[in-house]
Structure 1
């Protein structure tokens, strides 16, 4: 605390900015790890229900208009687009177009959900890369002031030099305290976000294949009935 109080206003401003950045980094970390953990648990529960083999329409209606988590959002958008596309008919051209539209709608939803989860990640990256240099700026400024004071006093004893140098180096130390956790947290979150995005894309691919099979079955049903009129 003494080093902070003895520093001039520029170094104090650098220290305060770095401390605030460090606090915000930890706040982002808490929010992101909590949100990702919740999204993963909700995705686990949703996939359990999805793969039980129940009605897709029942699961769709259970989600409502505002799904509570990313995987449910992907599912709802896919089902909504599938219903809208198949309502017009089930011709061969329409089957191919339906799959393309469903996949595109789910891809857009995944991108939107990941953008929401990745919000403020740029602050972590910026803090990790810039904080050491901001701290270094405070150090250089403090050392310049120390040398100016030494020149004015015409005294180069350690007792005169040490306090100013210590104040200056303290700014660099705070910069590293802000930067190192920011880099580590960013890397951990980036890895987790990448895995979660891959999980959403995998689900969308499997779900799209299921909808494509249902669409093809619906398109082939009238043809099969026409070829087997006695089946009725």
Structure 2
């Protein structure tokens, strides 16, 4: 594997049929209808559609109820990653190899997953070479329209609460807060909060940015075999 990125497991091609509920869908594989796990809590409005090509990853573990999980789709010929865990995997690779914008890997002393702060947990905690604590929240973005990647695609009370806690952490002067939106599709070049879907989240994101929280969109080259870091762009409230 070249550069900062992750390799995908071998994938099985199918045709998306329908979403049964939040976490299950039906897919056609080699002429048979198969029920699969949907590893994303969002609505996936612009990422799945009946008749669309899709790609499945085997579900590890003997005796699992569903043999596959919906891993990728290809609306309009563009790759879109559905599995929300891929975003955290990409950030782990960045912390080990690339670092974060303005915080290269050589300045990272240590990092941990799922640190506690306030009333909950964040995705990552980084301690830099000066002993400063960085709390990081990662968001998986697979919704886009007219070249604009958008988050969320469904209301998220928990997401807005995390943003307000990061703003509080930043204002306390204990360290630095980060929100990293990992864009999991290749047909977008700009990121914006989806105000029409969740105005409270959009407002909380603006408040966090004004408090000094680092807000970045992470962009990657995506294909059927993996995903490699292309760069990042800062987001600033209008």
Q: Please indicate the TM-score interval, normalised by the length of the shorter structure.
A: under 0.3
Could you state the TM-score of these two structures normalised by the residue count of structure 2? 0.21
Is the helix fraction higher in 1 or 2?
A: 1
Give the number of the structure whose alpha-carbon radius of gyration is greater: 1
Q: Which has the higher relative contact order, 1 or 2, with Cα contacts under 8 A spaced 6 or more apart?
A: 1
Is the strand fraction higher in 1 or 2?
A: 2
